[in-house]
Every structure is written in C-alpha cells, then in structure tokens.
Amino acid sequence: MNTSERGMGLGLRALNRLAGSELLDRVGQRGRVERWVFQGTRRGFRAAEATSRRFSAAARLTRPVRQGHARASELFDLSLDEEQQMLREAIGAFAAEQVRPAALAADDACATPVELLAQASELGMTTLGVPEELGGVMAERSAITSVLVAEALAHGDVGIALAALAPGAVATALGLWGDALQQSTYLPAFTGESPPAAALALLEPQALFDPLKLTTRARREAGEWVLTGTKTLVPCAGRAELFVIAAAAEGLGPSLFVVESATAGVSSETEPGMGLRAAETGRLTLAGARLPASALLGEGRSEVYLECVQRARIAWCALAVGAAQAVLDYAIPYVNARVAFGEPISNRQAVAFAVADVAIELEGMRLLTYRAANRADIGASFDRESALARRLCADKGARIGSDGVQLLGGHGYVKEHPVERWYRDLRALGVMEGALLV
C-alpha cells in the first residue's frame, strides 16, 4: 500500500466514523455534513504536488463576499449548538485516533505527515472562514466554531494542529478582508483540489516584540510595494505557496500583504523552536520583495490589522486550552496509578491539589477564550477580552505545562510520555503572534 492509499484509508476511517455518528441523525444535520463530506471526496487525497502554483482569477467576482455574523444571544448560555457538537465529536475522534499517535514522530521529524494534513483539510478545518458562495461550508463566520476546532485538534497535538490550521488563517484573512480580486485570485485554491500550504506571518525576531511596532517595512515605489524585513517562527514556511505578511506600510502603519512565495526576494530557512516542531516553523526573509499595489489587504486600515492580531490571540488561546486539557487528561490516570509510600500519589494533597489547580485554571482559560470568540462573532469589541484571554492562557498555560511534567516527576521529563512536549508547546503562548485566525 503506497502512501496515498494509506492516507485514503485513514481519511475514510475518519469520515466513516462521522457518517456512523448517531448524533448526525439525532440533530438532523446529515444533509449539511454529507455536503461537507462530498467536498472532501471531490478534492481527494493528494499530497501537495504544487510547489509554485500560479494563482489567477479564473472567474472574477464583482464585489467581495463576506460571511454573515451571528445574532447576539439574549441569554447566557454555555451549551454548544448541534453543528458544533458534531464538529467537536468528529475532530476529537480525528485528534485521538490520528493526531496523537503521530505526534511524537512529527515532533522528532520537525514535520507533519502530508496525508495527515490532507485529512485535516478534508475535515473542513481550513475553510471555516471561507464564505459559502466561494465553496466554504459555513454561511456564518463563527470564531467560536474555529475555537472548538482548534481546541479539539490541539488536544491531539499542538504542533500538528498549527500545521493543519495555518493555511486556514490565510483563507480566513482573505474571507474577512480580501477584496473582489484577492478573493477571486486566491480563495478558489483553498476549496479546490490540493489546497495550498499557506501561512500568516506577523512575528519578528526581536525581544519585547510588539505587533504594533513592526520592523518589516513596506515602501511605495512606482505603484508597487517593496517589502524588507524578517519574519520568524512562520508555520510551514518552506512549503507555503502563499503568505499573508504584516509590515509597516509607508503612510499607513501596520498592514497585511498577500505575498506569493514565488515572488523574487522572498526566501525561507528552517527555524525549529522549543516546541511546535511538527509545524515546520521557519524564518522568512523579505529582501526588497516587490508586490503589486493589489497585494495590500483590507486597504491597510488599522482596524483590520488590529482585528487580525486579536483574532490570532484567540486562536492561540484555543490551542492552549486543548493542550492544557490534554495535560489534565493524561495526569489524572497517571497519579491514580502511580504508587509511592504504599499508596497512589493522588491520595496526597500536594499532588491532588496540583491536579485541582490545573482543572480550575484550565476552565477559566476556556471561558475567557469562548467569551472573546463569541464577542467577535456578534460584532462586539473584543480587544480587552482577547488580551485578557491571552494573558491568562500565557500565564496559566505555561504553569499547567510545567505542572504536567512535575506530576509525572522523572517520567515527565522523558519522551516516553507526552507531557514534556506539552511543556514545550504551552510556552508558545505569550510568544506567538499571528499564524492562526479564528
């Protein structure tokens, strides 16, 4: 069985599980999901064959298409709707059966297997932000749904989740802020066969990095933009065919640009980090890369850039919540089974209280993340909420990563158990900006 057949087998198993889910019938969502699945099979399981694809607008939109946004609920509510439950169940199964078993090897190899990424995109993860008219599956944009997807996937592995979701950030950026030409040029590729690897690059190699004070510059020259600077820890930097890159634009301030990787002056090198290794992080150098005027996203409006920073923060919080939940779920059976001084170590308050604290802080992280995402969905301001969610997830997430290792003691420090990986991955919170969007 060759790689693509094996990939097909794995993917079908995931789809089959989805199709067999009683939940689909119970909630009357079968039609919608089957359409979803149809898209997957139409696309097929192909390894990314394109290395320098030409993006062009086959049929040009006359105006940009946007997803609608949700109505604000009158009531406080923590229950998921039926579609969200179903999605979480499907992605949770994928994360447990496919992602977690692949995580150790992907971390070692600094790469996620392409068939796993194909399966992820098959499950619709990268097109949540694509308007329905352009081949997406979601009529309404839903940051909450994106959060649930990211959380469920990160429970499997954070690095693989980042690799799988990174192209979706570019599609979401185009869906939210792209003009008619940008959407017609780039979005069809994301819903078509073999969607491109793509990445949203904000972070720069600088201590005390502030996304509002970029050192990457975009200069105007003869009706074109010329980009110079360095971006760091960009997921899939070496494979990506398309980037959205943040640069301080002359006369505009921090702005986003759509950059094809084939553009002269764009180069990348691998840059593995402490964690997130499965996401093939790399450093991107822009040495006077010349872009057409049409590369500017959202007309360089400052609120677009701020929204991008804030949506990325929410997405990272979602990964932290998933990873922190993984720590808790792993630590509980361990401390119950591990015997010292004649009884399970969980009979001791020092151990039991550490577990309780993980659960308490994790639940807080989750609620802050959901609140920020929900505010984004109903069109309310979410600068404060996303900032507070990030603060909490950065502080408590790193603490939970550390406690996870501590609870396993020496066993936590070796690669036989996944907690050392979560320790490394959870420190990314507080460091990372951009790269993902909800």
Partner 1 sequence: MISLETPKKFRPLVSQAHQVATEVFRPISRKYDLAEHEHPKELDMLASLIDGMNAGSDMGGAGAAGVRRDRAPAGETANRNGSNLSTVLGVMELCWGDVGLLLSMPRQGLGNAAIASVANEEQLARYDGRWAAMAITEPEAGSDSAAIRTTAVLDGDEYVLNGEKIYVTAGERADLVVVWATLDRSKGRAAIKSFVVERENPGLKLERLERKLGIRASDTAAFRLEDCRVPKEDMLGSDTIDVKQGFGGAMQTFDNTRPLVAAMAVGLTRACLEETATQLERAGVVLDHGAPAHAQHAAAARLQAMQADYEAARLLTLQAAWMADNAKPNSLHASMAKAKAGRTCVEVALACVELCGSLGYSEGGLLEKWARDAKILDIFEGTQQIQLLIVARQLLGKTSADLC
Report the residue number, 115 or 385, with the smaller CB distance to partner 1: 385
User: Rounded to the nearest whole angstrom, what is the least distance from the CB of residue 435 to partner 1 in the complex?
Assistant: 15
User: Rounded to the nearest whole angstrom, what is the least distance from the CB of residue 434 to partner 1 in the complex?
Assistant: 13
Residue 5 neighbours by CB under 8 Å, 6+ apart: none
Which DSSP category does 238 fall into?
T
User: Rounded to the nearest whole angstrom, what is the least distance from the CB of residue 265 to partner 1 in the complex?
Assistant: 29
Indicate left, alpha or beta for 93 from its phi (over 0: left) and psi (-120 to 50: alpha).
alpha
User: Rounded to the nearest whole angstrom, what is the least distance from the CB of residue 432 to partner 1 in the complex?
Assistant: 11
- Residues 308 and 438: their CA atoms lie apart, in Å, by 9
- Residues 311 and 319: their CA atoms lie apart, in Å, by 13
Report the residue number, 106 or 233, with the smaller CB distance to partner 1: 233
Partners of 242 in the β-ladder: 198, 260
Report the residue number, 28 or 223, with the smaller CB distance to partner 1: 28
Query: Under the rule (CB under 8 A), what is the footprint of partner 1?
Result: 70, 72-81, 84, 144, 208-213, 306, 309, 328, 332, 335-336, 346-347, 349, 352-353, 355-357, 359-361, 363-365, 367-368, 370-371, 374-375, 378, 380, 383-385, 387-389, 391-392, 394-395, 430, 433
Report the residue number, 85 or 228, with the smaller CB distance to partner 1: 85
User: Rounded to the nearest whole angstrom, what is the least distance from the CB of residue 174 to partner 1 in the complex?
Assistant: 24
Give the CB-side neighbour count of residue 155, counting CA atoms within 13 A: 22
- Residues 232 and 273: their CA atoms lie apart, in Å, by 10
User: Rounded to the nearest whole angstrom, what is the least distance from the CB of residue 88 to partner 1 in the complex?
Assistant: 12
Q: Which amino acid is at 217?
A: R
Report the residue number, 80 or 180, with the smaller CB distance to partner 1: 80
Distances (CA, A) of 43 to 8, 349, 369, 433: 12, 53, 33, 31
Which structure tokens are listed for 362?
Answer: 């994790």
User: Rounded to the nearest whole angstrom, what is the least distance from the CB of residue 360 to partner 1 in the complex?
Assistant: 5
Helix (H, G, I), strand (E, B) or coil at 42: helix
Say how many C-beta atoms besides its own lie within 10 A of residue 224's C-beta: 14
Report the residue number, 285 or 347, with the smaller CB distance to partner 1: 347
Report the residue number, 115 or 361, with the smaller CB distance to partner 1: 361
